[in-house]
Amino acid sequence: MDFFKKALDARIALVVIALFDIFLFLIVGAWTVGGGETMMTGLAAKAIIGDQINNIPFWKIVFPPDFGYWKIYISVGMLFGAFLGAKLSGEFFWRFPGSLSEWVMITIGGLLMGIGIRLAFVCNVSTFFGLTPEMNLGGYLSLTGIIAGAWFGSMIYKKILGF
Amino acid sequence: MSVIGESLVAFIFGSIIGLLVQRSRFCNTAALRDAILFKNFRNTEALLLAMMVLTIGFTLFITFGQGNTMKFDVGLNQIIGLFIFGVGMVLAGACTVSTWVKTGEGNVGAIWALLFTFIGMFIFSLLWSYSYWPPAPIAMTGEPNPETFQLGYANAATLQEKTGIPAIFFGIIQFMVLLGIYLKIQKKKKSKE
């Protein structure tokens, strides 16, 4: 099957994704990832520290851990879909960051992404595929932030890689 | 819709997204980083096209009172939060989508990024439990609140409500702006060839 033999044009893929996102918007709400990841964090924390999680107000007031939170399953689905695509196209193989500096950058980057998502209540997906197309004021504020952040991050990236 | 129904719809949707992103190599981080650093707009073009389709689709349904819009107050925390996120995604080389997709391809760096995204969220939950900022959804009023740096809540539906002009009208304006950016990129590409 050609679909699994050569790369799909990103423009076609994104237009199809947008059409599915409109369906999701009509059924439950636009595509988002950060909310599901936060709920996973809460569930993982609860599994590790047990009822002590109730002593942290954030998990009591903002995100009480709940397996029935539908946004979790978008991420689980993305993992499954990507695994399926990679396996069927022969592109699945274990790969590791090549240098210590790469591990450090990924660690810092991951931490910043987690803190940023929770501070903003939104992630990049909500910004580009939810809030801004809904013409939500938060979309424009988030766009300003993410473009400035990506520019600043790119300058750091450029300096570290030395080009 | 029941919890199981919602979760099932979300899983099917996510699976389609994961498959399409994996096959197309689309990356949101690259859409910004590559445009800034390398003047490569492959991912930026795709992102703009999706935003154009979504703007028309969402605002058309909002015009008729359909769809589930995101409802929460916004303010300074969106700018600062996404700034921090933007720096992080460039350093990590992946965003919220590509971390899941690359994990599905066997990329250990992406698994590591995901793990630290979760740790970052947990650290923030501790900070929030001390500062209580930004306001929790239950404390949101929908109105501007300078004390908490919040501007309230506004979107295409509130625009339609306040002006009496159909939301799709505003959607078309936003579509034209996005199209203008898309065409400018095309022009730039042609002049390079």
List per-residue pLDDT tens for chain B, 193 residues long: 899 999 999 999 999 999 999 999 999 999 999 999 999 999 999 999 999 999 999 999 999 999 999 999 999 999 999 999 999 999 999 999 999 999 999 999 999 999 999 999 999 999 999 999 999 988 898 999 999 999 999 999 999 999 999 999 999 999 999 999 999 999 998 887 7
Distance, CA of A37 to CA of B25 (rounded, Å): 22
Q: Is the pTM of this model over 0.95?
A: yes
Residue type, B52: M
- Predicted complex ipTM: 0.97
Q: Are B91 and A108 in contact (CB under 8 A)?
A: yes
Angular region, A162: left φ>0, alpha ψ -120 to 50, beta rest: left
Q: Look at residue A103 and tell me whether its pLDDT is greater than 80.
A: yes
Q: Are A113 and B120 in contact (CB under 8 A)?
A: yes
State residue A117's pLDDT score: 98
Contact A10 B24 (CB under 8 A): yes
Share of chain A above pLDDT 70, in %: 99
Q: Are B63 and B161 in contact (CB under 8 A)?
A: no
Contact B81 A86 (CB under 8 A): no
Distance, CA of B132 to CA of B42 (rounded, Å): 41
Residue type, B136: A
- Phi, psi of B159, deg, nearest 5: -60, -45
Contact A7 B74 (CB under 8 A): no
Distance, CA of B167 to CA of A19 (rounded, Å): 19
The answer for residues whose C-beta is within 8 angstroms of residue A2's C-beta and 6 or more apart is none
State residue A91's pLDDT score: 96
Distance, CA of A125 to CA of B21 (rounded, Å): 13
Region A154-161 average pLDDT: 89
State residue A160's pLDDT score: 85
Q: CA angle, corner A133, sides to B77 and B41, nearest 5?
A: 90
Minimum Cα–Cα distance from A10: chain B residue = B24
Two tokens, residue B118: 């979760």
Distance, CA of A135 to CA of A53 (rounded, Å): 36
Q: Look at residue A73 and tell me whether its pLDDT is greater than 90.
A: yes
DSSP B136: P
How far B68 CA sits from the closest chain A CA (Å)? 5
Nearest of A20, A22, A5 to residue B16 by alpha carbon:
A20
Distance, CA of A121 to CA of A34 (rounded, Å): 8
Region A30-41 average pLDDT: 98
How far B146 CA sits from the closest chain A CA (Å)? 16
Two tokens, residue B39: 């003047």
State residue A163's pLDDT score: 64
Q: What is the mean pLDDT of chain A?
A: 96
In chain B the beta strands, taken as DSSP E runs, fall at 74-75, 150-152
pLDDT (tens digit per residue) in A14-26: 999 999 999 999 9
Strand partners, B107: A95
B-chain residues near A80 (CB < 8 A): 11, 14-15, 18, 104
DSSP B74: E
State residue B138's pLDDT score: 87
Region A33-42 average pLDDT: 98
Contact B37 A116 (CB under 8 A): no
State residue B30's pLDDT score: 95
Element (H, E) at B146: none
Distance, CA of B163 to CA of B147 (rounded, Å): 28
How far B193 CA sits from the closest chain A CA (Å)? 20
Contact B46 A14 (CB under 8 A): yes
